[in-house]
């Protein structure tokens, strides 16, 4: 997992709950807490941190990931404004993930294992097919909502299929109102 | 001593201390983010540089292994599009020259989604761009990459609006060039506006250069093949191309189809003389001119449609001054004869190289394939044999091959070998024909004449001189003659002090005279034989004298400075004898035997008359050759001819007999009384 995800998590937790909570999470999990966007870290560390947060707050892990995605998005927009500037709306931003954003990530970090989304579009909807052993569909869900919020758009979100329920891949359906 | 701050004055509350630390932490975090950002920019730059380098390497590699530049271009545009996420690329090739220079699409394009931009791709694949302000057109004016950030924003119609329909935004146009030579243009399109990137442009230019190398290599290979099949001097097909064609005809012949070919073998008479006298550059110019005349004849037959016209006529240069024409068609024999006749006509007009007027004639041999030839080389050989036969008959002749010629050709080969042996075995000898003062009948000199003692028979030069000339033996023979005649003359003078004055006249062949070191050779022979140079007369034919008049003059003057006298031989048979007489320092002219023999005709008589008048005016001696009858002698005496030689006086005799005759007081016969003209 890229270090930037850990950085975002730290920023979101610190912003909403104070840096002592983040420190507690690190203490609880025995993590060093030394994360830089230039590095990659074991996926397990992220799951442990989120798990510890869940234990601390009593909020389920999946809900926490969703929350994290929504709140991390504005911070991504601050860090990487160019991606947002070149996309005029939420739909085109989401569609640029495969073609622009993840290729750019790979330019910085060779060997980064970015997920590939399979898109299916109608006039009102956009379906993201997501398949990854990380099963981070909730984080993706949060990101998508964050994107809509960034562009000031209202969307409804549903997930007709989920790997957590045994589906081979997750289907994330974004719908724009008529 | 430096004053130190009092630490107690920095005491702060715990709260303030925490705030301080938080600020410090925030700064540290900002510092980390800044560092990460700088590192990421560096990583991105390194990644792009590496990718571009890899692209350049892969295109260079493809270029190195490619024989077809279009293959390299196909590979390159696909790779460039894939690397950059560009959606369309098109290739235009440079065509035409000067005002006709243009770029033409060749149907080689690449589209990420061809179905979504087919109209644009299709139009691009047929585009023709003339020098103009549009991106490809600009390449013809200034071949340097052009990057337009957004063609839609720039108001570019983009191929009649089709670019807009395909949502194309940035366009990048890259020349494929090596040095100043533009070979092609690659154009790329994106579906989002892209800022010009100088590094990217530099890389694209380099790719253009690499592909330019493939074009250059292909052009060089093409040229090599062309050169291998074409004579670079005259631009005619060469021997290899001709032989390929002839061989193909023979291969294509089957028993069922009749063979319908003739070969016309052409050798330029007089070319070698020009080459030797005026130098290779002049020789080349003459060849180019003559080749162009020959080509016109051949092309006339090849391209003019008329009933029974030949199927094809191929002309090639197959040697220094040798050309061949291959005629295919039903009437090949007649066509070949007509072509030969036209060639003689077309070569006739003289040609000027600087101020030198030069002429070429052709010796032409023709061989027809009547179906009896099994291999093409035999047909070629027989045309060559016929050409040699024509050459032996003098300039400007055409001879068609027949079987007796082959025997003669074999004879010639044998003769050449025998001549070489004869030189080594010292089988050559001289005979001396007296030259007589017509009035007194006394010997004034001798003409040394070459003979070949071949076994029991004495062979005259007419039987071997041509072969000797063709095989480069003439210079050796000529030098031998001069040395032998000088030795004999010096010996006579040494041994017989009482002898009356005489001179020894020696013939010098044109090729011998044109040797750059001829004067030195003569000087060496005089030194070696100890002959008095005033005894020597060198006879030169007009052919040798006129080819390079300036050089002739300087050689003649050098010889005269040594004391040698000079005769212009065969006078009257050349092109413009009288002119040469006035401008070149000759002591004597020798009137050709043809005028003497034909002296009864009014024409010859008038010519002799004219020759004598001029000779008198220029104070030049006149020797009539070939006097065989008393009547001829009387006529020559009547018109004032001073010297003569011929069978009436004596044939050429051995040195012993010649010496005897020179010492004898009794002279030869004199003209009848009343025939002497008092000058």
Interval B256-265: pLDDT, tens: 565 689 999 9
* Best-predicted range by mean pLDDT (B116-130, B292-306, B334-348): B334-348
Rounded to a whole number of angstroms, the distance from the CA of B36 to the nearest CA of chain A is: 6
Give domain status of residue A109, yes or no.
yes
* pLDDT at position B10: 64
Could you tell me if B48 lies within 8 Å of chain A, comparing CB atoms?
yes
Say whether pLDDT at B456 is over 70: yes
* pLDDT at position A110: 73
Pick the residue from chain B with its C-alpha nearest to A19: B22
- Give chain A positions within 8 Å (CB) of B40: 37-38, 108
Say whether pLDDT at B13 is over 50: yes
Q: Structural domain tally of chain A?
A: 2
Pick the residue from chain A with its C-alpha nearest to B193: A86
* pLDDT at position B558: 95
DSSP B3: P
Proportion of chain B above pLDDT 70, given as a percent: 94
Distance CA B450, CA B547 (A): 25
Rounded to a whole number of angstroms, the distance from the CA of A109 to the nearest CA of chain B is: 8
Rounded to a whole number of angstroms, the distance from the CA of B178 to the nearest CA of chain A is: 32
- Give chain B positions within 8 Å (CB) of A103: 85
* pLDDT at position B236: 93
Could you tell me if B43 lies within 8 Å of chain A, comparing CB atoms?
yes
Q: Residue range B350-360: average pLDDT?
A: 85
Who has greater pLDDT, B204 or A106? B204
The reply to whether residue A107 touches residue B39, judged by beta carbons under 8 angstroms, is no
- Give chain A positions within 8 Å (CB) of B48: 107
Mutate to test the interface with A, among B40, B83, B169 (most CBs of A within 10 A): B40
- Give chain A positions within 8 Å (CB) of B39: 38
Residues facing B186 on adjacent strands: B91, B174
Say whether pLDDT at B410 is over 70: yes
Q: What does the pLDDT look like over B66-105, one tens digit per residue? A: 888 999 999 999 999 998 889 999 999 999 888 889 999 9
Number of other residues whose CB lies within 10 A of the CB of residue A11:
18
Say whether pLDDT at A177 is over 80: yes
Rounded to a whole number of angstroms, the distance from the CA of B229 to the nearest CA of chain A is: 54
pLDDT category at B9 given cuts 50, 70, 90 is: low
Both A93 and A134 in a single domain?
yes
* Best-predicted range by mean pLDDT (A133-137, B4-8, B358-362): A133-137
Residue A34 structural domain? 3-59
* pLDDT at position B93: 95
Both A88 and A134 in a single domain?
yes
Give domain status of residue A65, yes or no.
no
Say whether pLDDT at B670 is over 70: yes
Q: Residue range B430-436: average pLDDT?
A: 96
Give domain status of residue A102, yes or no.
yes
Burial of B665 (0-12, 13-18, 19+ CB in 10 A): exposed
Both A55 and A101 in a single domain?
no
Helix, strand counts (H, E) of chain B = 23, 22
Say whether pLDDT at B312 is over 80: yes
* pLDDT at position A109: 81
User: Which of A144-148, B126-130, B304-308, B444-448 is the least confident region?
Assistant: B304-308
The reply to whether residue A38 touches residue B192, judged by beta carbons under 8 angstroms, is no
The reply to whether residue A38 touches residue B36, judged by beta carbons under 8 angstroms, is yes
Say whether pLDDT at B368 is over 80: yes
Give domain status of residue A103, yes or no.
yes
- Candidates B39, B47, B85; nearest CB to A38: B39
Rounded to a whole number of angstroms, the distance from the CA of B48 to the nearest CA of chain A is: 7
Distance CA B641, CA B93 (A): 80
Residues facing B447 on adjacent strands: B433, B505
Both A88 and A50 in a single domain?
no
Q: Residue range B310-321: average pLDDT?
A: 91
Who has greater pLDDT, B435 or A86? B435
Both A104 and A165 in a single domain?
yes
Q: Residue range B393-402: average pLDDT?
A: 90
Could you tell me if the ipTM is greater than 0.95?
no
Q: Residue range B233-240: average pLDDT?
A: 92
- Give chain A positions within 8 Å (CB) of B25: 19
Least Cα distance to B501 among B531, B469, B535, B473 occurs for: B535
Could you tell me if B85 lies within 8 Å of chain A, comparing CB atoms?
yes
Rounded to a whole number of angstroms, the distance from the CA of B9 to the nearest CA of chain A is: 30
Could you tell me if B34 lies within 8 Å of chain A, comparing CB atoms?
no
Burial of B659 (0-12, 13-18, 19+ CB in 10 A): buried
Q: What does the pLDDT look like over A63-111, one tens digit per residue? A: 999 999 999 999 999 988 989 998 999 999 999 998 888 888 888 887 7
* pLDDT at position A99: 82
Give domain status of residue A86, yes or no.
yes
Give domain status of residue A8, yes or no.
yes
* pLDDT at position B242: 92
Rounded to a whole number of angstroms, the distance from the CA of A80 to the nearest CA of chain B is: 10
Q: Residue range B481-499: average pLDDT?
A: 93
- Give chain B positions within 8 Å (CB) of A36: 32, 36
What does pTM read for this prediction?
0.53
- Candidates B32, B43, B192; nearest CB to A108: B43
Both A85 and A168 in a single domain?
yes
Q: What does the pLDDT look like over B178-194, one tens digit per residue? A: 988 999 999 999 988 88
Give domain status of residue A76, yes or no.
no
Both A105 and A25 in a single domain?
no
Distance CA B124, CA B109 (A): 8
Tokens in use for B302?
């090849």
Both A39 and A120 in a single domain?
no
Rounded to a whole number of angstroms, the distance from the CA of B171 to the nearest CA of chain A is: 18
Say whether pLDDT at B367 is over 90: yes
pLDDT category at B635 given cuts 50, 70, 90 is: confident
Say whether pLDDT at B679 is over 60: no
The reply to whether residue B36 touches residue A99, judged by beta carbons under 8 angstroms, is no
pLDDT category at B602 given cuts 50, 70, 90 is: low
Both A123 and A169 in a single domain?
yes
To 5 degrees, how large is the angle CA A73–CA A76–CA A81?
Answer: 120
Both A54 and A92 in a single domain?
no
Could you tell me if B39 lies within 8 Å of chain A, comparing CB atoms?
yes
Pick the residue from chain B with its C-alpha nearest to A3: B36
> To which residue do tokens 């044998």 refer?
B414
- Give chain B positions within 8 Å (CB) of A110: 47
- Give chain A positions within 8 Å (CB) of B85: 99, 103
* pLDDT at position B678: 47
* pLDDT at position B57: 93
Mean pLDDT of chain B: 88
Give domain status of residue A138, yes or no.
yes
The reply to whether residue A107 touches residue B48, judged by beta carbons under 8 angstroms, is yes
Say whether pLDDT at B430 is over 70: yes
Both A96 and A138 in a single domain?
yes
**The domain that contains A89 carries what CATH number?**
3.90.1520.10
Burial of B18 (0-12, 13-18, 19+ CB in 10 A): exposed
Torsion angle of the four alpha carbons B306, B310, B316, B322, in this order, in degrees rounded to the nearest 10 = -100
State the count of interchain CB pairs (< 8 A) between A and B: 24
């Amino acid at each position: 997992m890229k270090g930037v995800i850990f950085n975002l998590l730290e920023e979101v937790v610190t912003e909403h709950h104070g840096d002592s909570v983040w420190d507690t999470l690190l203490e609880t999990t025995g993590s060093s807490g030394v994360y830089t966007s230039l590095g990659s870290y074991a996926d397990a560390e992220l799951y442990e941190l989120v798990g510890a947060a869940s234990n601390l707050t009593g909020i389920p892990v999946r809900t926490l990931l969703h929350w994290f995605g929504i709140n991390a998005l504005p911070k991504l927009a601050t860090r990487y404004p160019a991606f947002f500037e070149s996309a005029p709306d939420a739909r085109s931003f989401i569609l640029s993930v495969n073609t622009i954003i993840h290729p750019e990530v790979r330019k910085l970090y060779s060997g980064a294992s970015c997920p590939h989304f399979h898109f299916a579009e109608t006039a009102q909807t956009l379906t993201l097919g997501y398949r990854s052993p990380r099963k981070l569909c909730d984080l993706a869900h949060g990101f998508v909502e964050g994107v809509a919020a960034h562009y000031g758009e209202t969307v409804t979100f549903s997930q007709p299929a989920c790997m957590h329920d045994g589906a081979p891949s997750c289907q994330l359906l974004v719908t724009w109102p008529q | 001593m430096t004053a130190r701050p009092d630490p107690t004055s920095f005491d702060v509350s715990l709260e303030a201390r925490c705030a301080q630390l938080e600020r410090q932490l925030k700064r540290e975090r900002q510092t980390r983010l800044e560092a990460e950002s700088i590192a990421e920019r560096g990583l991105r730059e390194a990644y792009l540089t590496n990718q571009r380098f890899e692209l350049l390497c892969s295109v260079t590699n493809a270029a190195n292994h490619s024989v077809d530049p279009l293959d390299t271009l196909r590979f390159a545009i696909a790779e460039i599009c894939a690397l950059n996420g560009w959606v369309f690329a098109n290739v235009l090739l440079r065509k035409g020259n000067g005002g006709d220079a243009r770029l033409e699409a060749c149907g080689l394009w690449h589209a990420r989604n061809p179905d979504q931009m087919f109209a644009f791709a299709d139009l691009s694949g047929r585009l023709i761009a003339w020098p103009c302000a549009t991106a490809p057109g600009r390449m013809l004016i200034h071949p340097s990459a052009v990057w337009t950030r957004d063609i839609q924003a720039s108001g570019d119609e983009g191929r009649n609006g089709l670019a807009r329909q395909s949502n194309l935004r940035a366009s990048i146009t890259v020349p494929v060039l090596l040095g100043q030579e533009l070979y092609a243009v690659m154009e790329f399109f994106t579906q989002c506006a892209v800022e010009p990137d100088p590094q990217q442009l530099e890389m694209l230019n380099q790719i253009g250069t690499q592909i330019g190398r493939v074009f250059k290599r292909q052009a060089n290979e093409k040229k090599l093949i062309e050169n291998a099949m074409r004579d670079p001097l005259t631009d005619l097909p060469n021997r290899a191309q001709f032989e390929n064609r002839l061989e193909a005809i023979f291969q294509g012949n089957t028993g069922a189809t009749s063979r319908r070919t003739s070969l016309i073998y052409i050798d330029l008479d007089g070319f070698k003389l020009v080459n030797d006298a005026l130098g290779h550059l002049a020789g080349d110019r003459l060849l180019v001119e003559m080749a162009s005349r020959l080509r016109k004849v051949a092309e006339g037959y090849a391209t003019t449609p008329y009933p029974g016209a030949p199927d094809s006529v191929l002309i090639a240069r197959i040697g220094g001054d040798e050309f061949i024409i291959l005629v295919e068609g039903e009437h090949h024999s007649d066509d070949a004869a007509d072509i030969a006749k036209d060639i003689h006509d077309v070569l006739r007009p003289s040609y000027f190289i600087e101020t030198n007027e030069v002429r070429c004639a052709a010796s032409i041999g023709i061989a027809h394939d009547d179906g009896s030839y099994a291999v093409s080389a035999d047909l070629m050989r027989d045309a060559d044999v016929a050409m040699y036969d024509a050459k032996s008959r003098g300039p400007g002749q055409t001879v068609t091959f027949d079987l007796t010629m082959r025997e003669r050709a074999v004879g010639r080969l044998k003769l050449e070998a025998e001549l070489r042996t004869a030189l080594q075995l010292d089988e050559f000898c001289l005979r001396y024909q007296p030259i007589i003062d017509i009035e007194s009948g006394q010997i004034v000199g001798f003409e040394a004449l070459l003979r070949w003692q071949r076994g029991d028979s004495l062979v005259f030069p007419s039987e071997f001189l041509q072969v000797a000339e063709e095989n480069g033996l003439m210079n050796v023979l000529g030098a031998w003659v001069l040395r032998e005649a000088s030795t004999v003359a010096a010996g006579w003078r040494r041994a017989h002090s009482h002898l009356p004055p005489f001179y020894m006249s020696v013939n010098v062949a044109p090729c011998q005279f044109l040797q750059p070191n001829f004067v030195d050779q003569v000087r060496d022979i005089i030194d070696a034989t100890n002959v008095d140079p005033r005894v020597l007369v060198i006879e030169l034919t007009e052919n040798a004298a006129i080819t390079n008049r300036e050089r002739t003059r300087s050689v003649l003057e050098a010889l005269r400075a040594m004391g040698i006298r000079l005769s212009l031989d065969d006078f009257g048979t050349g092109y413009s004898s009288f002119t040469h007489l006035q401008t070149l320092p000759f002591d004597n002219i020798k009137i050709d035997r043809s005028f003497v023999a034909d002296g009864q005709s009014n024409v010859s008589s008038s010519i002799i008359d004219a020759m004598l008048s001029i000779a008198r005016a220029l104070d030049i001696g006149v020797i009539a050759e070939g006097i065989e009858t008393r009547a001829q002698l009387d006529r020559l005496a009547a018109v004032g001819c001073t010297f003569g030689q011929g069978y009436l006086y004596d044939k050429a005799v051995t040195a012993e007999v010649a010496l005897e005759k020179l010492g004898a007081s009794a002279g030869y016969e004199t003209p009848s009384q009343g025939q002497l003209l008092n000058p």
